[in-house]
Amino acid sequence: MDYDLFVIGAGSGGVRAARMAAGFGARVAVAEDRYMGGTCVNVGCVPKKLYVYASQFSHAFSDSKGFGWDAEAAPFNWATLRDNKKAEISRLNGIYRNMLAGVEVDTFDGRAKLVDAHTVEVNGQHYSAEKILIATGGWPFIPSFPGSELAVTSNEIFDLEEFPERIAVVGGGYIAVEFAGIFNGLGSRVTQLYRGPLFLRGFDPDIRAHAAQEISKSGVDLRFELNVDSISKTDEGLQLELTDGSSLSVDVVLYATGRKPHLTELGLENVSVDLADNGTIAVDEHFNTSEPSIFALGDVIGGMELTPVALAEGMSFARRQFDRLNKDVEYDFIPTAVFCQPNIGTVGFTEDEARATFGHIRLFKSTFKPMKHTISGRDEITFMKLIVDKASDKVVGIHMMGPDAGEIIQGLAIALKAGATKAMFDSTIGIHPTAAEEFVTMREPWTED
């Protein structure tokens, strides 16, 4: 064999698996047909967070007046943000390539296609490998309807030639919610359309309701139970015909209605790799597919589509296959954040999940105006929620919407992994004055059953 491991896809999971395997002495190659670092580095978490930072300056200019700063909002230059982002992503691409080279991993620029269970083809050349790992990630999906080709996805939205004065964001997941906040903060007139009664499906119901309230107050025009029938070009931009019979004129339509596994031209027809009903690659808990020599991990297997999860899976795979360390990924109490404005941070069970799992629970809730906004004057309310298993007193869910929610929840996730009880939270002294201290000062249950 040419290699012990051939990895298809140089995203977070693929690169981590390749580096770890090479560190254990394996001969490794990686093929990537688009960009080093995958979705997260190029068209996902990294550029998105940079754009979130950019969008928050408009709020800062406004907030500063109450603190004595006679500041006017400065004009925003889209090209500066876009081009500076490109330079930073290019730098990160180089870092990923150098990391692989540093452990003597061969890299191929091109789409790898499976020829058989031990052979891949890249740019017309065949390479044999004892094990093949598929880590090709996901790809944005736009449903087919009249004019759907006029919409853009999260892949293209970062690099628009012109800044959209008016934008429609279609979708109700975290990507849609985040981009609605980004363009609202940058100065666009944003309309967010979602076909259901309330967005952020899968999140705690209180968080979903609070998010709708706060995002609407920020200036985003939220329209629920509404969808797009068609998109057409006009002299004034794009016209959307909506399912309620109304129309909407915008400059850009961003579709963030879901992602599908990126399996195009992968050659799966040449091997015995089974797919799940939702089109993802079916694997067991050790990332084995139905083909003994082929494995898969990350977004392509349809689990939690989070960069740190793919990293953990890549590490677990490499250790099991090349270091004989059989430690599975633990999927309980994985924290996550939605970088809308204000942020959402969450870890553990939602209220509905906790009731179904534990039966009797206690809920603790708190809402308050952030200290900063008592002077800034901004109409923004922070929401916090603790969910406690009544029988064991363990805290099994924490949910927050407010400034720095992601930073706060990361630390609390450790407490939940360690099995912390509500009594431990109560006995912990808070840092004053912070929002985070509220999590250790909530004494009276909102409700218990």
Which residue numbers are catalytic? Answer: 432
What is the per-residue DSSP string for 349-409? Answer: --HHHHHHHHSSEEEEEEEE--TTHHHH-----EEEEEEEETTT-BEEEEEEESTTHHHHH
Q: Which amino acid is at 105?
A: V
Residue 209's alpha-carbon distances to 216, 313, 353, in angstroms, are: 11, 33, 17
Amino acid at 10: A
Cα separation, 415 vs 398, in Å, equals: 11
Retrieve residue 228's tokens. 């797009």
- By DSSP bridging, strand 221-224 and strand 189-194 are parallel
C-alpha closest to that of 232 among 146, 143, 142: 146
Longest dimension (CA), the chain: 69
Nearest to 136 by CA among 302, 338, 312, 322: 302
**Cβ neighbours of residue 262 closer than 8 Å, sequence gap 6 or more:** 9, 136, 137, 138, 139, 300
Find out whether 349 and 356 touch, Cβ atoms under 8 Å.
no
Verify cis geometry, omega within 30 degrees of 0, for the bond prior to 342: yes
Q: Checking phi first, is residue 5 left (phi over 0); if not, alpha (psi -120 to 50) or beta? A: beta
> What region, left, alpha or beta, does residue 419 occupy, with left being phi > 0 and alpha being psi -120 to 50 degrees?
left
Q: How far apart are CA 140 and CA 257, in angstroms?
A: 8
> Cα torsion at 266, 269, 274, 275 (round to 10°)?
60
Residues in the chain: 449
> Backbone phi, then psi, for 111, in 5-degree steps?
-80, 120
- Dist CA 440 CA 449 (whole Å): 22
Neighbouring C-beta atoms of residue 87, cutoff 10 Å: 8
